[in-house]
Amino acid sequence: MSVPVEQVVASLQRLRADKYGDGKKVELWNFSRQRMEDVCEIAAAYLAEHDKDEHELITEDWLITAGVSGKIDIGGSFWFRVYPHLGSCQIGSGNDAPYYGWDEEHDLPPVKTRGDVRKVCKALGIPIKA
């Protein structure tokens, strides 16, 4: 279920203001229909954008299932690799002729969760299966 962004923003603004109906502050126990619908819309929007396992730590088995284990060619002479035991990933370039100075590795921001890996892969254009 996809909730329009404008609707989610309006729900969030009503909840932040904590005003329903006549514009007076409502008591915490006042569960008006509109208030409950606002909470449900925000929850639905969050769940639509976040995988249920987003905060789980990465493992080698999960990386294999997701298709992102080992060195992954990302085009040209560049590669990407996740090191689950270190909670890190690297991007590098390698050329068969190191003479040109193309044999480099660079650490990327730490990746500890499945959500982290998905974000990095999305940014790099790497398809992921899980």
Amino acid identity for residue 76 in this structure: G
Q: Which of the 8 DSSP states describes residue 98?
A: G
Distance CA 17, CA 111 (A): 36
| pLDDT of 107 over the 60 cut | yes
The per-residue pLDDT for 105 is 73
CA 102 and chain centroid, separation = 31
| pLDDT of 19 over the 70 cut | no
Mean pLDDT of 110-123: 86
Could you tell me the end-to-end alpha-carbon distance of the chain, in angstroms, rounded to an integer? 20
- Out of 17-21, 36-40, 43-47, 124-128, pick the least confident: 17-21
The model scores a pTM over 0.85: no
The residue extents of the domains of the chain are 5-49, 60-124
Distance CA 35, CA 1 (A): 19
Q: For 36-46, how does the pLDDT look when each residue is reduced to its tens digit (9 = 90+)?
A: 788 888 888 87
In which region does residue 76 sit, left (phi positive, over 0), alpha (psi from -120 to 50) or beta (all else)? left
Distance CA 91, CA 89 (A): 7
Q: For 50-97, how does the pLDDT look when each residue is reduced to its tens digit (9 = 90+)?
A: 788 888 888 888 888 988 888 888 777 778 888 877 777 887 776 554
Residue 48, token pair as written in the block: 């639509």
